[in-house]
Amino acid sequence: MTTHSDISHNHDLDLVTRFRHLADGFGAVLEDADGTGTWAAASPCEGWTARDVVGHVIDTQRDFLTGHGVSLGEQPSLDDPVAAWRSHSAAVCAQLADPAVGDMPFDGYFGPTTVGETLMRFYGFDMVAHRWDVSVAAGRELRFTDDELTMMESAADGFGPALYGDGVCKAGVEVSADADRQTRLLARLGRAT
């Protein structure tokens, strides 16, 4: 039986379901943060507010998909980050409903891949990591599930040194030897808890 927490990396499920699971998780954090004065608050991403984080997640997905000829329509306004995310994620899901979009092959940074695989591997990683960033900006605690931790650890392993490339993660930070799994993962991603 598939649980809610392992939907995002269950390849037996269609791409729309897997993407929507991650997008809904990110959206839930945005809805929780809305109306709390969070959007102008500093995030753990140096120099970025919570609004900037939402803009980054939307912009990078749009750039990736439009770069492969996938039109997402008009750019949503970040005046309302929650509405912008809803609009953006709905547009992505509408495009992914056509299996040809996710199956589109291309030569990626790590070799031959597809739009769908990259969307889930890299941009899925981004949606999970930045959920934590927005939560911190909102003064909330967010705990990843074991499945999310496994997905993030596997992705980080796969990125290798590219994890610390320009625009990805800053260098890892030191944590105590007895730190829990989430703290160790966040430290690896350059985030101090």
Helices (H), 73-145: 81-96, 99-102, 115-118, 124-137
Residue 115 pLDDT level (bands cut at 50, 70, 90): very high
Mean pLDDT of 139-153: 93
**55-80 confidence digits (pLDDT tens):** 999 999 999 999 999 999 999 999 99
- Give the domain ranges of the chain: 13-124, 143-193
Question: What percent of the chain stands above pLDDT 90?
Answer: 71
Residue 173 to residue 188: CA distance in whole angstroms = 6
pLDDT at 7: 47
Question: Residue 89 CA to chain centroid, in angstroms?
Answer: 12
Q: Is the pLDDT of residue 5 over 50?
A: no
Cβ(32)–Cβ(134) below 8 Å: no
**31-40 confidence digits (pLDDT tens):** 999 887 899 9
Cβ(93)–Cβ(20) below 8 Å: yes
Name which of 10-19, 43-52, 77-86, 134-143 the model is least confident about. Answer: 10-19
Query: If 0-12 CB within 10 Å is exposed, 13-18 middle and 19+ buried, where does residue 112 land?
Result: exposed
Alpha carbon distances (Å) from 32 to 38, 61, 125, 193: 10, 22, 20, 20
Q: Which CATH architecture has domain 13-124?
A: Up-down Bundle (1.20)
pLDDT at 166: 76
Over its C-alpha atoms, the chain yields an Rg (Å, rounded) of 16
Alpha carbon distances (Å) from 113 to 92, 102, 106, 107, 121: 19, 10, 6, 6, 11
Mean pLDDT of 125-150: 94
